[in-house]
Amino acid sequence: MNKYFIFLLLAVSLFVSLGFYSGAETRQNQTAFVNPTPTPSAKIEKAALDREEIFIPCPPGVKRNEKCDEAFSIKVEISAVNPRNAELLYHYTVSGGRIIGKGASVSWDLSGVRPGTYTITVGIDEGRGIEAETLTKTVQVKECNCPIVDACPVIEISTPADSVKAGETITFTANVSGDFGSNMTYNWTVSAGEIVEGQGTPKIKVKTTREMAGGNLTASVEISSERVAGICERTASESVAISK
């Protein structure tokens, strides 16, 4: 009787030991399955803009400076790290203008915005919602210097007479049509004689010499003003005869 009891007790102990070991191994396997090493999420590596400064186009009838002659949109290129090789969705938020296109390459159209600083923020979504990490870039929108094209000044030089005696002084006056600002400058040159008064102003006096008798005296002026378009004519000349 004692012999069978001892055998039964050993069998039960062995069964319990094997069950405990199997259960512990199962728990370890379950723990390893529930807490695997996480795969890093996708993230934005770089956001590149083809330029960070643009100018508001001039209205019809005016001419832009060369530096302002640009399209009014910006090309945006996004580079992202994608460890899961998941299909990524790109989300753009702008403080002005609108986004044209989808994906990692889009255009940012800023037509119609006022001068100022504008931002674009991009986030990515790999199927689990927009990642917390976003990237923001800034651009400057500026006014362009837009001189008037269809209102170029007309420059005429007048003199009190068509001729002057050698050794005398004669006056040349530049008459500029239109309102091109009060800061206009005048640069005079003469073919002979000497400017004795008025350089830098609309009117000069030129002293002739006796050696100039029988020839001509030509006075030329070049005007300068920020409000005069680069395509406008800025010079004018007038000649008088020098008599004996």
pLDDT at 101 (0 to 100):
95
Q: Name the region of 116 (left: φ>0; alpha: ψ -120 to 50; beta: rest).
A: left
Residue 80 contacts residue 46 (beta carbons within 8 Å): no
Residue 243 contacts residue 163 (beta carbons within 8 Å): yes
Q: How far apart are CA 209 and CA 191, in angstroms?
A: 12
Q: Dump the DSSP string for 74-130.
A: EEEEEEEE-TT-PPPEEEEEESSSEEES-TTEEEEE-TTPPSEEEEEEEEEESSSSB
pLDDT tens digits for range 124-141:
887 777 766 789 999 999
pLDDT tier, 191 (very low <50, low <70, confident <90, very high otherwise): very high
Q: Which of 60-74, 144-158, 182-196 has the highest mean pLDDT?
A: 182-196
pLDDT tens digits for range 149-190:
556 788 999 999 999 999 999 999 999 987 776 788 999 999
Q: How far apart are CA 238 and CA 206, in angstroms?
A: 13
The yes-or-no verdict on residue 20 having pLDDT over 50 is no
The yes-or-no verdict on residue 117 having pLDDT over 70 is yes
33 phi, psi to nearest 5 deg: -75, -40
SS3 70: coil
Q: Sketch out the chain's domains with CATH numbers.
A: 43-143 (2.60.40.2550), 155-243 (2.60.40.1080)
- Listed in sequence order, the residues at least 6 apart from 76 whose beta carbon sits closer than 8 Å to its beta carbon are 47, 48, 49, 92, 99, 105, 106, 107, 108, 120, 122
